Amino acid sequence: MRKEFTWRSLSLASVFAVIGVLIIVQMVRIQTSTEAADFREQANNYKGWIENIYPARGEIYDRNGKLLAGNQSVYEVGVTVDDIENAQSIASILSTVIDLDYVNTLDAINNASEEQVYLSLIDYVSAEDVAELQRIQRDIEEENSTSNDNLSGLNYREHLARSYPEEAIASNVVGFVNRSGRGYFGIEEKYNDLLAGIPVQVWIPADPNRVEEIPQVPDGTTLILTLDRELQAKTEEILDQSLYNYGAKAGTIVVMNPQNGEILAMASTPRLNLVNFSQYEQVFDNASEYNRAINMPYEPGSVMKILTMAAALDMGVVTPQTGYTDTGVFPVGGAIIKNWDQEAWGYQDMTGCLRHSLNVCMAWIAVQMGPDNFYDYMSKFGIGHPTGIDLSGEAGGRLKIPGDADWYPVDLATNSFGQGVTATPIQIMMASSAIANEGKMVTPHVLYGMLRDGKQYDFPPQNAGSPISKETANTLNEMLANSIVGEDATATLPGYRLAGKTGTAQIPTEYGWYSTEETNASFIGWGPVDDPQFMIYVWLERPTTSIWASKTAAPVFALVAEESIRVLNIPPDIIRLQYAAGQ
């Protein structure tokens, strides 16, 4: 019995030994036969690497089809490691044509791991430089294939990079995209996901003949802005010249359609040439400077008097004919309120209080309203809250209210004429749109529409509430149109009836008091009064030729209004009214 089991075990062992020998023989045959070359060729066909393929970023246009942000072809220069025959030659040529460091390039190539198929040497090389490299490569191949300057293994991989044909124009609105494809500031950041599209992970074959196997990825969404490139450029030009003329530190000018909230122009200083976005830190000290119109709250001063008057008229506390005797002082909360010129203006109606920008009158109006009513109206106007404009980084400003630890009764008076409260230009514009637009506020926006899959989708205007009645808005509109003729005559234009208000605000110092030598000069206005098609906000920071907005911001408003009328093709009032009467 035991012999029978021993025989069976020996038989099985013999069979397994034969199978093992056959396997070894087959392996040796494959390695030494012509089939080996076939197997190696098949393996090479599967050489490659996994990579994220990013779609072409969506383009950005102005409302008239002018390209503000697009894409251009650039190249990544690298080497296929197995194909390199002369690393020194590659390093030498690259250092000559594209100023790549010879030693570092040579070290990178020589230290590539055995498993590495492809090695990237430099990215974002211009098409001109790549064309020169390719010319040199062709010349070497034609002259002598065994030359010491053999460039075998050198590869060029084309891809898209962001381009900004307008350079600095509208840069504060557009923003920029860095080398990693992330949008910063403005539209580029706010709509980064839409513009960028959805990347796809794919296998990239090392064999250049199989490039067609890479799948096509749908492009990102193209955006159309409400900006008018021509008006934007002219507004920036006027702003830059105004800073020079009035010795201002910085400034911003915004042009908006008060009937639908479309931003037609938004200029701010300083501005960045988007072609050289890497200079951001040399241009700006902090992010809030990128677009002062939305990023930088400040005490706007007397431009807020129109909101105080709107609230009082809407409550019925005053009418345009209400009289007030200005003695030059008004005590409130243990403090004394004085006018901007320290003078008494005597008897005034409410239009006179606006025309002469009387702090004392506004403080009296706010006290008549009471703090609860005053701050309720300011909140309805959106003061202290972001507008929701579709640009990144909007600041909300601050409106102190009763109950806050740092609110005092005197704040009711100072807030009525725009001191002790902070807001951005775009917040004041949204609030004022209720006056120009029959009581209805509109949400400011920069996106007009988008292009996706060959179709255009436009965005309708958004109502931001109705803080005052239509009757109040129309009444105040007339009061502002009448008040601008006189004190602010530099803001008028022949043939057009406009409405507006100056704002000269003292600037708080780090020591807790207000500077008497430095101001923020502002102006908000719109027109034509009977059918407002543009609203303009001007803010000049710390002008030095004059501290008064009537001498600085008001004439700047007139210049921008003149350009707006030209670009928007608005006929003079008499022609428009005659045409309307004939319909």
pLDDT at 553 over 60: yes
pLDDT value for 129: 85
Q: How far apart are CA 314 and CA 310, in angstroms?
A: 6
Q: Are strands 222-225 and 250-256 parallel, antiparallel or unpaired?
A: unpaired
Rounded to 5 degrees, what angle do the CA atoms 423, 428, 432 make? 160
Cβ neighbours of residue 24 closer than 8 Å, sequence gap 6 or more: none
- 229-582: CATH, from 3.30.720.200, 3.30.930.10, 3.40.710.10, 3.40.50.720: 3.40.710.10
What is the C-alpha to C-alpha distance for residues 576 and 29, in angstroms, rounded to an integer?
96
Q: Give tens-digit pLDDT for 462-511.
A: 899 999 999 999 999 999 999 887 656 788 889 999 999 999 999 888 77
pLDDT tens digits along 398-457: 999 999 999 999 999 999 999 999 999 999 999 999 999 999 999 999 999 998 877 888
- The tens digit of pLDDT for each residue in 197-230 reads 887 777 666 665 555 556 677 788 999 999 999 9
pLDDT attached to residue 17: 66
Kindly report the pTM of this predicted structure: 0.83
- H/E stretch holding 256: strand 250-256
**Which tokens go with 20?**
């093992």
Q: Report whether pLDDT(88) > 60.
A: yes
Q: Which helix (H) or strand (E) holds 479?
A: helix 470-483
Indicate the SS3 state at residue 378: helix
In 432-498, the DSSP E strands lie at 441-442, 447-452, 455-458, 463-465
Q: Tell me, what's the pLDDT at 28?
A: 62
30-34, 297-301, 565-569: least confident range: 30-34
CB atoms within 10 A of CB 24: 10
Q: How far apart are CA 581 and CA 241, in angstroms?
A: 40
Query: What pLDDT is recorded for position 207?
Result: 60
pLDDT of residue 100: 82
Q: What is the pLDDT of residue 126?
A: 82
> For residue 297, is the peptide bond before it cis, meaning its omega torsion is within 30 degrees of 0?
no
Q: What is the DSSP string of 503-564?
A: EEEEEE-TTSSEEEEEEEEEEEEEE-TTS--EEEEEEEES-SS-S-GGGTHHHHHHHHHHHH
The whole-angstrom separation of Cα 176 and Cα 183 is 6
pLDDT at 215: 63
> Please, which pLDDT band fits residue 16 given cuts at 50, 70 and 90?
low
Report d(CA 119, CA 117) in Å as an integer. Answer: 7
Q: What is the mean pLDDT of the chain?
A: 87
Contact, 69 vs 162, CB < 8 A? yes
More confident residue, 338 or 485: 338
C-alpha 247/C-alpha 543 separation (Å) is 5
| Domain extents in the chain | 72-98+112-161, 229-582
Residues 23-74 have pLDDT tens digits of: 666 666 656 555 555 545 554 555 666 666 778 889 999 999 999 999 988 8
